[in-house]
Structure 1
Amino acid sequence: MTQIPIDKRLDTAFASPDVHDLTIPGDGVVAVILAYNEALRFPYFLEHYRKLGIAHFIVIENNSTDGTRALLSECADVSVIGTEKPYRDHKSDWRQLICERYLEDRWVIFPDVDELFVYPGWPDRSIGDLVRDLDGSRYRALFCPMVDMYPKGPLKDLTYTAGDSFLDTSPYFDGTGYRYCPLKGSHRKRYKTPSRHVFGGTRERLFHQDAKRRASAFDRALINRFFSIRSNAPETSTGRFIDHLVFKLVKNALPDTAAVQSKIPLIKWRSDYRFSGGVHGIDKGIRVAPDWGTLLHFKYLDDFQSKVTEAIARKQHTDDAGHYRDYNAQMALLMEEGLFGSCSKKFTGTESLLEFGLMKHVGDSISLR
């Protein structure tokens, strides 16, 4: 089959002249970001990633109306690609085509604007040092749980200002309530990396709980034994077979609408990789480091209610924004009482995440020098 030229595919996916002839530094980690109405978060987001040592930012700006593009146009280290194409239909294509055109065999990070990437050795260790060690061990990706961050009080009391630290505003996270297990359905077979994902945490505690049947004591014992957040994904075909047999026994006791709470956001890109819609999985089997980073996720700022309303109206997310409808159903409670609970812990550095199994540092697999 004849391969369509990359420039033609770029034109089809973006319909924007901005996508051609970007000027990108010849080395260093590049961030590729999809954004819609993120003027509130971008100032601190950029500050955080610049401190990590990101060489350049490529932002696909999807028709924002809040001044996002004007804000980014003033940044010398940001290339902005404006597009009016629908996010739902093109989000994977946008990332993949940009990487194919500009970033083959380069380390790329794919954060959302409400995510801060941290890892063993942060903040003293640069992302450049991190990827040099990954290269030294021939790893091509780093796995990261997504950890929802929130304030202690009601959301209605937040007074976040653009440029303020996300962590000063929302320093708490759920320390328990996670599991590390395979996906349900056909995605498990199609997207080979990673073989397991993280589920649970804040979103399942508050929003996504409906399952086909109630979990029995036997279900809970199997989940704790095989799929705790501290367990290891099987590395052999026999181990993966056993993993999926056990998972079949318990999957109907797990929430049907469970949100995947993990990604592989840091990847050494190759042009034949394909994402599973978001950055949760890749269709190829690639070497993933045994260490875990973490994506601290700051969805719950002052604009949470308006973001949910906007997402439901736009219907650009999975299942016509089904998860956002779940958020909306609990909105009054969140605004009046907040997300804080008995399992809430305060983030005081990477040690907080290591303590609860939400980050991993496996011996000398990645040096912390």
Structure 2
Amino acid sequence: MMKFYTIISVRNISNDKIFNNNEIRLFAIMRNESLRLPHFFEYYKSLGVDRFFLIDNSSTDDSVQIALQCQAVHVFRTTDSYVNHWYWMEHLLEKYGKGYWCVVVDIDELLYFPQAEKLSIPKFCQFLEETGSTAFRALLLDMYADKPVNSSNYTPGQNPLTVVSNFDKEYEKIQFSFFDRLRWQFFESIIFTGGMRDRVFGKSTPPSILSKIPLFKYLPDTYLVQGMHAINGAQISDLQGVVIHTKFIHDFIEEVREECVREQHYGNAFYYKHFNQRITQNPSLNLSFSGSVRFQDSAQLVELGLMKTSEQFEEFVRTQTEAENTPST
């Protein structure tokens, strides 16, 4: 792999003896995420993530300081253009993710799976292992408030679902072609698109890809596509989850304007510019409509078809829950 980046470790992690093969490891890239980081860490630690590997890309706030205050959080820094971000991610996954169950998300994304209220992520991965699966597909579920985005105020540490508690329930499923840089060939994968993105901002070409592979076991033949939208060389579970997307809070409009100027995201900030067209027309944009649904729990999302479970998985959860609630003798 050619190097287009310079990554510096902020916290030395070489020969760390507390590493073990059963860890659930999370990988993410951040830039000025001090608003979301406190709840991000709280959420994923409560879910059962053991260790975090974060790449900071030129933050000007106290994101790095917040991250370094937490145990089992390892921070790397780069000032290179975000254009090269997937090379950074591949580098860290290759060095610290091989053989592990890996969570790969953005800081504004919260992995959510069927029965997540009852089951930890290590137990969830246990079920995936037992059923021969090495990856888990999810819908990126855009959450929004019932008020204008610029007044959807959020404070650090707050559960974002108390602010952005609504979502669209209608999405499309289509086939899309992705490029595998490991095999140097294209492959087809199912993706989700539509939802609030198309309803509010209009359809785009290429479409808004709302598919995520947020959890997978990194094996030698595995290739995760940029943006976590698809995976090749993996056995994807029949179960399906969502990634709760918390982008659309009060800082969204400022972020859009900044990224339109920086032009470091996909296609010179193609999607941000797509957002900005609508924001320019209406700076007090409200994303809700009469068909918006208020978030309740994982059972609701299964009932709506946004998540998928199975009888085998439900029995597994029952068994695990009973075992945990049985007093030891």
Q: Same fold (TM over 0.5)?
A: yes
In structure 2, the partner of 1:168 is: 162
Q: Give the residue type in structure 1 aligned to 2:196.
A: T
In structure 2, the partner of 1:327 is: 275
Match of 1:277 among 203, 206, 226: 226
Which aligned pairs between 1:1-369 and structure 2 lie closer than 5 A? Answer: 13-18=5-10, 21-22=13-14, 23=16, 25-26=19-20, 27-89=22-84, 91-176=85-170, 178-183=171-176, 190-192=185-187, 195-209=189-203, 255-282=204-231, 284-331=232-279, 335-365=283-313, 367-369=316-318
Gaps of 5+ in 2: 319-329
Q: Report the identity percentage.
A: 28
Query: For the structure 1 residues 280 and 19, does the alpha-carbon distance in structure 2 shift closer, same or farther, using more than 3 Å as the test?
Result: farther
Q: Which has the higher contact order (CA 8 A, sep 6+)?
A: 1
By how many angstroms is 1:258 displaced? 1.2
CA contact (8 A) 1:118 1:293 kept: yes
- Report the more deviating stretch, 29-38 or 262-271: 262-271
Distance, in Å, in 2 between the alignment partners of 1:191 and 1:20 is: 37
Q: Secondary structure at the match of 1:330?
A: helix
Query: For the structure 1 residues 191 and 19, does the alpha-carbon distance in structure 2 shift closer, same or farther, using more than 3 Å as the test?
Result: farther
CA contact (8 A) 1:208 1:259 kept: no
Q: Secondary structure at the match of 2:216?
A: strand
CA contact (8 A) 1:34 1:62 kept: yes
CA contact (8 A) 2:150 2:251 kept: no
Distance, in Å, in 1 between the alignment partners of 2:9 and 2:42 is: 28
By how many angstroms is 1:33 displaced? 0.5
Q: Give the residue type in structure 1 aligned to 2:311.
A: G
By how many angstroms is 1:74 displaced? 1.0
- Report the more deviating stretch, 272-281 or 135-144: 272-281
Aligned length: 311
Distance, in Å, in 2 between the alignment partners of 1:72 and 1:298 is: 19
Q: Secondary structure at the match of 2:94?
A: helix
Distance, in Å, in 1 between the alignment partners of 2:74 and 2:290 is: 43
Query: For the structure 1 residues 97 and 156, does the alpha-carbon distance in structure 2 shift closer, same or farther, using more than 3 Å as the test?
Result: closer
How does the TM-score come out when normalised to structure 1?
0.79
Distance, in Å, in 1 between the alignment partners of 2:134 and 2:11 is: 26
Higher normalized strand content (fraction of residues): 2
Q: Give the residue type in structure 1 aligned to 2:241.
A: G
Distance, in Å, in 1 between the alignment partners of 2:9 and 2:151 is: 43
- Report the more deviating stretch, 257-266 or 16-25: 16-25
CA contact (8 A) 2:6 2:78 kept: yes
Structure 1 residues 317-364: Cα deviation after superposition (integer angstroms, max 9, x where no partner): 111111111111111566424100122100001122112211100221
Gaps of 5+ in 1: 210-254
CA contact (8 A) 1:38 1:113 kept: yes
Structure 1 residues 20-52: Cα deviation after superposition (integer angstroms, max 9, x where no partner): 744463122110011111110111111111110
Distance, in Å, in 1 between the alignment partners of 2:202 and 2:280 is: 17
CA contact (8 A) 1:143 1:292 kept: yes
Q: Give the residue type in structure 2 aligned to 1:128.
A: P
